[in-house]
């Protein structure tokens, strides 16, 4: 079981590096067109955005399929979003601007689309730094609060993307629709949870039938989470004994 998971982990890691390998290939064989620096810059930015979107896909997939233990892939994809975003920023500073800080300063001041890119990068940087288990432990409840900033980063990214276009908005529409769906899912979940919370405190008699149905759903979810909780406790205990036995 562990070995199989590890294999999947390796394969996904390799798949995530394919865009970088393809880029290196294209640079070497001069296949980036008339403006290779811009092409490289755009491609790294695009991949960073795609990985960020994929990161946000994990939770809805988990909800709909009831697949467990996908958090490790969510972290991995998020780190790849950060990795490509870092290359994107490095390309901007080095290849594009040759570390000419005066040019860079003026460019950032005068280009409002870059501000949104910077906001997004700053958030993703914080998330990447705090993403290891030790960070999660140390931050406790605040960890989740901090990592909810990924939604703000996603909105900043899509503004960064749209804000630099000269007018034709048809191409990026795909990415916009995806992020609307992904953020819409969160809003729907949040809304539903709020409704459930309200239902827990029956105030009027009118909610009779509906409330019974929903409460029953709620009970099921409670049951489910209780069983998963039980399972995880058992697993932890087993893992503890395994470790001890090895020692």
Partner 1 sequence: MIIKSNKIIPASEITDPLIFKNRRQIIKAMAGSLLIGSGISSVFANDKIDWIKLPKANVLTNSLPVTPAEIVKNYTNYYEFTFNKTDTTSLAQNLRTDPWSVEISGEVETPGVYYLEDILSHQSLQEYIYRFRCVEAWSMVVPWIGFPLSALLKTVKPLSSARFVQFTSIYSPQVMPNQRDNAMLDWPYQEGLRIDEAMHPLTILAVGMYGETMPKQNGAPLRLVVPWKYGFKSIKAIVKIELLKKPPVTTWNKFAPNDYGFYSNVNPTVAHPRWSQNSERQLGGSFFTPRRQTELFNGYAHQVASLYNDMDLRHFF
- Token pair recorded at residue 160: 């960064």
Is there a contact between 136 and 154 (Cβ–Cβ < 8 Å)?
A: no
Q: Minimum CB separation from partner 1 for residue 168, in Å?
A: 4
Q: How far is the CB of 86 from partner 1 (least distance, A)?
A: 18
Structure tokens at 89: 């920023």
Secondary structure class of 162 (helix, strand, coil): helix
Give the residue with the Cβ less far from partner 1, 46 or 96.
96
Min dist. Cβ of residue 46 to partner 1 (A): 14
Q: Is 68 left (phi over 0), alpha (psi -120 to 50) or beta?
A: beta
Minimum CB separation of residue 88 from partner 1 in Å reads: 16
Residues near partner 1, by CB under 8 A: 27, 33-38, 95-98, 100, 103, 106-107, 109-114, 163-164, 166-168, 170-171
Q: CB of residue 170 vs partner 1: minimum separation in angstroms? A: 7
Task: Return the sign of the alpha-carbon dihedral for residues 105, 109, 111, 115.
Answer: positive
**Residue closer to partner 1 (CB basis): 44 or 57:** 44
Residue closer to partner 1 by CB (options 166, 247) is 166
- Pick 95 or 207: Cβ nearer partner 1: 95
Give the separation between CA 106 and CA 152, rounded to whole angstroms. 26
Q: Indicate the length of the chain as a whole number.
A: 247
Whose Cβ is closer to partner 1: residue 65's or residue 102's?
102
């Amino acid at each position: 079981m562990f070995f199989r998971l590890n294999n999947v982990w390796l394969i996904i890691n390799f798949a995530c590096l394919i865009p970088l390998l393809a880029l290196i290939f294209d640079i070497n064989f001069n296949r980036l067109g008339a403006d290779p620096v811009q092409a490289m810059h755009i491609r790294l930015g695009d991949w960073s955005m795609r990985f960020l979107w994929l990161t946000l896909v994990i939770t809805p997939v988990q909800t709909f399929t009831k697949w467990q233990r996908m958090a490790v892939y969510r972290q991995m994809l998020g780190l790849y979003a950060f990795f490509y975003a870092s290359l994107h920023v490095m390309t901007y500073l080095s290849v594009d601007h040759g570390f000419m800080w005066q040019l860079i300063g003026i460019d950032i001041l005068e280009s409002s689309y870059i501000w949104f890119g910077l906001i997004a990068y700053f958030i993703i940087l914080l998330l990447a730094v705090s993403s290891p288990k030790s960070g999660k432990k140390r931050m406790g409840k605040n960890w989740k609060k901090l990592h909810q900033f990924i939604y703000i980063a996603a909105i900043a990214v899509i503004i960064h993307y749209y804000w630099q276009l000269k007018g034709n908005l048809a191409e990026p529409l795909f990415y916009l629709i995806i992020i609307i769906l992904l953020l819409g899912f969160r809003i729907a979940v949040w809304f539903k949870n709020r409704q459930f919370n309200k239902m827990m405190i029956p105030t009027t008699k009118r909610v009779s039938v509906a409330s019974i149905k929903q409460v029953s759903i709620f009970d099921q979810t409670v049951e489910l989470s209780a069983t998963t909780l039980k399972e995880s406790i058992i697993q932890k205990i087993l893992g503890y004994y395994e470790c001890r036995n090895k020692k």
